[in-house]
């Protein structure tokens, strides 16, 4: 039986799309049972809906606190039947109470070789630091941002003349392979926090 996974997005959703496409293969150990966005206009919602995946919008602006949002988010994920959660460009900090509930069951992809370049501008920061290589990381989510145990990484070179856009594109291509591979390991029980 495939493990049910909820994918959380805030925007384009290309990593979510890569997960959905991988999960469509019969021998893949997980299926995407829901796509949840904190933004109603997230482009990824269109793709998910077209694939007949249940989509949900939980607008953080309609909640009075982070705790209230995270409680509603937890309840919603539970209702979808998901056993695992993938953050895929979900640009919200999560409260420790929430991350504790999903410890070992929630993973994230980040566009740098963690622990280097945490935060929302990882590719730009890598270029500005003069890094010769960068890449992407899939890791377990813990309370501290971009800090949980690492499951998998892929490297790319930073080339002379790279801009934030060119480096982001090179990394993103790797993300689309790395994330499905890491989720498969988790769903098969091959990695544990």
Q: Which residues bind ligand GAR (CB under 6 A)?
A: 9, 11-15, 88-89, 109-111, 120, 122, 172, 175
CA dist., res. 106 & res. 24, Å (int) = 21
Question: Of 74, 67, 71, 5, which is closest to residue 35 (Cα–Cα)?
Answer: 5
Query: Shortest approach of ligand GAR to residue 133 CB, angstroms?
Result: 16
Name which of 78 and 107 has its Cβ closer to ligand GAR. 107
CA dist., res. 21 & res. 154, Å (int) = 20
Name which of 3 and 139 has its Cβ closer to ligand GAR. 139
Active site residue 110: yes
Query: Shortest approach of ligand GAR to residue 23 CB, angstroms?
Result: 15
Q: Which helix (H) or strand (E) covers residue 48, if one does? A: helix 44-50
Name which of 15 and 134 has its Cβ closer to ligand GAR. 15
Query: Shortest approach of ligand GAR to residue 1 CB, angstroms?
Result: 27
Question: Of 157, 113, 121, which is closest to residue 138 (Cα–Cα)?
Answer: 113
Catalytic option among 110, 121, 139, 176: 110
Torsion of CA 171, 169, 53, 183, to 10 degrees: -10
Active site residues: 110
């Amino acid at each position: 039986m495939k493990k049910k996974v909820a994918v959380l997005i805030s925007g384009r959703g290309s990593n979510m799309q890569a997960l959905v496409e991988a999960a469509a293969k019969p021998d893949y150990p997980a299926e995407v049972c829901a796509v949840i966005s904190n933004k109603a206009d997230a482009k990824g919602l269109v793709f998910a809906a077209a694939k007949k995946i249940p989509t949900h919008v939980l607008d953080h602006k309609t909640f009075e606190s982070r705790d209230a949002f995270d409680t509603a988010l937890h309840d919603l994920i539970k209702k979808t039947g998901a056993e695992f959660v993938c953050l895929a460009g979900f640009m919200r900090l999560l409260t420790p109470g929430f991350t504790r509930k999903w410890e070992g069951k929630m993973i994230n992809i980040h566009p740098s070789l963690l622990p280097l370049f945490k935060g929302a501008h990882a590719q730009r920061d890598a270029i500005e630091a003069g890094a010769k290589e960068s890449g992407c990381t899939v890791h377990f989510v813990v309370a501290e941002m971009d800090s949980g145990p690492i499951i998998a990484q892929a490297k790319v070179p930073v080339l002379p003349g790279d801009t934030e856009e060119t480096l982001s594109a090179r990394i993103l291509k790797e993300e689309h392979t790395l994330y499905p591979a890491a989720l498969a390991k988790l769903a098969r029980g091959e990695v544990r926090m």
